[in-house]
Each structure stands twice: as C-alpha cells, then as structure tokens.
Amino acid sequence: MIVNPIKKGTELNLKIDSLSYGGKGISRYDGIVIFTNNVLPGQTVKAKIIKKKKSYLEAIPIELIEESPFKQKEKCNHFYDCGGCKTQDLDYKEQINQKENQIIDALRHLAKINIEKIEPIIKSKLIYEYRNKMEFSFSNNRWLINDEKGLKNEKPKDFALGLHPPKRFDKVVDIDNCEIQTKLSNKILTTLKKEVIERELIPYDIINHKGFIRNVIIKHPKHSDQVMINIVTAYEDIDLLMPIVSEIKKISPNIKSIINTINNKKSDSAYGMPQKLLYGEQFIVEYLNGFEFEISADSFFQTNSIQALKMYEYIRNECNLTGKETVYDFYCGTGSISIFVAKKAKKVFGFEIVESAIKDAKQNALKNNVTNTEFYCGDLSKMLENYNEIIKQNPCDILILDPPRAGLHPKTLKEVLKIKPKKIIYVSCNPTTQARDVREFINSSYIMGAVQPIDMFPHTHHIECVITLDKI
C-alpha cells in the first residue's frame, strides 16, 4: 500500500496524461494519482492540492507551465464561465481519443476485463449546432464574468437567461449565443430575453422562491425542423405571456408549439407539472429513417438526432433479427428503439416507469403502423411479480437496456437475470456504471461481445456506449 505523504495545500508541477470520465485531468506524482480540474491532456501545470483521499488527491491549476499540443481556440464567448462544453478548447480528434480510453479504462479497472481496444467511436457529423434540445434558466442573480467584476456594466445584475456556472445553481451565466444549439434556437432565446426584460417580468429567485418566470426549454429536431418552446413559470398568468408569444411566433413558421408549464415547486424540475398550450400543437415530430415520432413537452428524445439514428441502426444490426425473436426493451421511453427494431422482430415488449412516456410510445407505434409492439408502465425491479404471465408466454430472446446514468438498480439487475435473455444489448451514457453492471452479467454466464461508443455530445465529457452480451 502506497502511503500518501503529500499534504493539502502543497503545490506541484504536474504533467496531465489524460482525462477521466467527468472531465478531470489525470496525472501521477510518486505513484499517487492526482485529479485536476480545468486542464487538458498534454498540459504541464503548477497545481495546488485541495483534497486528500486515501488512494488519490484532487488539485486545481494555479499556473500554466506548458500548453497542450491538442489545445484549440474555443468558439463560444461564454466558454470560461458556462458549465456546458468543458472540452470545447480540445481538438475534436483528441476528444474522441480520450472518450475511447475512458471506456477501455472503465471496463479494465471496474469490470476487470482484459480489454485493449474497442470499436472505433462513431463520430458526430456535427460538432456544433447538434443539440435538438436545450434548457435555460432565468435568474435574478447574474454570474459576473472576471472582466466586469467591480465595474459598471450595461447588463443588469438582477437578470439573466442562460446556464448555470459549474456547481453554482444560485447563479446563471447570461447567454447571448449557444454554439451547440441551432441558429433558430439562438434567435428564439435572444428574442425571449428581450421581450421578458421589456415587459419587466420577474425572474424566479431560487433561494427565496419568489418571482414569475423560471425556465425555457427549446426543442428543435434536425430532420423535421419543427420547434417547440416550453416556457416554465412559477404560477399561471396567461395575460403576462401572450404578448411575448405573439412576438416569438413571428420569428419563424417552423415554430409549431409554445407551451407554458406551471412549476410551483421549489425543485427546478418541471417534469410532470401542469401545462397550458399557448400556441400551435401539443407536440412536434421528428423523422428517423422513415419513422415519425411525436415529441411532447415531457417526452424524452435523444438530444442529437443524427447520432441517435446511427445508434438505433447499430442496435438493430447487433440484434441480428430474423423475424422469429421476442425483444424486450427496458427503459423504453417513448418507444423509439422498440419501434425501430420491431420491423424485423416477431414481437417487441417495451417497459417504462414513466406513464406519459408509455402513452407517447403507444401513440408513436400507432402513427407508424407498427402492430407487433406492446408497451407497459411499471416498476422494472418487480418484473416477475408484475408481468409473470407475459414473460412465461413470451420468453425473451433479446433484451435492450437503456437505463439512467446511475445504471441498473441491483433489484432490476436480479430481475433481468431471472428472465434469462439470450442476448443483452446495453446502452449507456455512463461508462463507469455500465462497466459495473457488465461485470455482474459476466459473473452470471454472459460473455461480452462488441463495444461500440457513439459520440452524442461533442465538447463534453459525456459518451454513449453500446455493449453486446451473449448468454454462454
């Protein structure tokens, strides 16, 4: 066991070897692993130790000694303050390299799999303007950038519409232009900001829980070019919003839906809260390979439509369907993967705990004339208890898993093993929890096949990965 002699507050010169999942730089000093925030691989920095753990240290950079060969000029004016695109100043080829290595390291160290390489990552065709959904917050507490602190500024300090800086949910960086959303979405954002300021609507105070306007969610799918705007307020007051709606809908004929969600909770999440239709339709649509999917205000849909299509095509190919297979889709959401694979399967059963998502899934199947799917709302950790008869009558050949970032709950994993699928296709946006669960499957007589990363999120540390497991 290595005894850690380095004290908190110590300053060290560190060569950053790589990035961990989560975006922290990894270096080693006398055999001790050190994680450093806000650095790039290839940099040499003077860093100060801020946390001391048994097996590692955490540090912050205080001086750049040598720049990284992978450094590039960031495109976004808000890069150094916004908590979004943390690797925008890293060459995209190197972003890909780091993400591939993170998956390998997770499988090697967490799953204890002797793996040296994986399938080449499916790169994103677009590295800017790729997101079909962005959520912005209103605030009465604007984050001040370094060059305006202590100075007079045109922008009011008590108003912002944008994104939170890292680890500061009490403040918001006022965003003029977000490089990873579409140009039309940016125009909507700036127009909304102008109208709210001119009409003196009160931004929500997340500390004191006072104020009116809280968030705006802009959805702009790539293949349909339809736009939904969801304005979230603390209480209902249509009269305050309609003049703004009148101005916003003039921006483009592509704006098909404007929704008002009323969130009177202290929590910032507006999911499942009451909604009012202010303009247009209750939903917009997105097209993927001939399929049409309805997207409502609460619907989950992959935020990178172009990459989502590539991922769905890969999953379908990996299923190797002949028309005789029964497929189970756990965490099916609005049924996009289920519908995508159903054409070549005997039967697809989708399961999801969110009731509104199941409603959307059934509607999407109906809209696309897909008749061999069934969707059920329920707790996946009680599969055999709730759906025993379905499982008995329809033994699972292929199971598709797409759990939340936290991975599979231990109870759910046990239920999966009881179902005994012949093949598991595990989709995840978190390499660490995916590796943890893969180890459990390997321990239960499964063998790992292809490992296919897909870059859904350029300029961030996030990476989507599809792993195939076959029953021995």
All residues at 6 or more sequence positions from 389 whose CB lies less than 8 Å from its CB, including other chains? none
Q: Annotated catalytic, 85? A: no
Give the H or E element holding residue 19: strand 18-19
Nearest CA to 28 out of 13, 39, 40, 38 is that of 13
| Cα 396 from Cα 326, distance rounded (Å) | 6
The residues pairing with 33 across neighbouring beta strands, listed in sequence order, are 28, 56
Nearest CA to 244 out of 254, 261, 231 is that of 231
| Cα 1 from Cα 284, distance rounded (Å) | 58
Tokens 């939903």, residue?
A: 283
Nearest CA to 373 out of 395, 354, 400, 345 is that of 345
CA angle 370, 376, 380 (to 5 degrees): 130
Rg value, the chain, Cα: 24
All residues at 6 or more sequence positions from 410 whose CB lies less than 8 Å from its CB, including other chains? none
By the 10 Å C-beta count (0-12 exposed, 13-18 middle, 19+ buried), 90 is classed as buried
All residues at 6 or more sequence positions from 375 whose CB lies less than 8 Å from its CB, including other chains? 332, 335, 338, 349, 350, 351, 352, 358, 361, 362, 365
Nearest CA to 163 out of 72, 77, 229 is that of 77
Residue of 178, 396, 429, 465 with catalytic role: 429
Tell me the residue type at 426.
Answer: Y
CA atoms within a 13 Å half-sphere pointing along the CA-CB vector of 298: 18
Q: Do residues 90 and 73 lie in contact, with contact meaning Cβ atoms separated by under 8 Å?
A: no
Instruction: Report the catalytic residues.
Output: 429
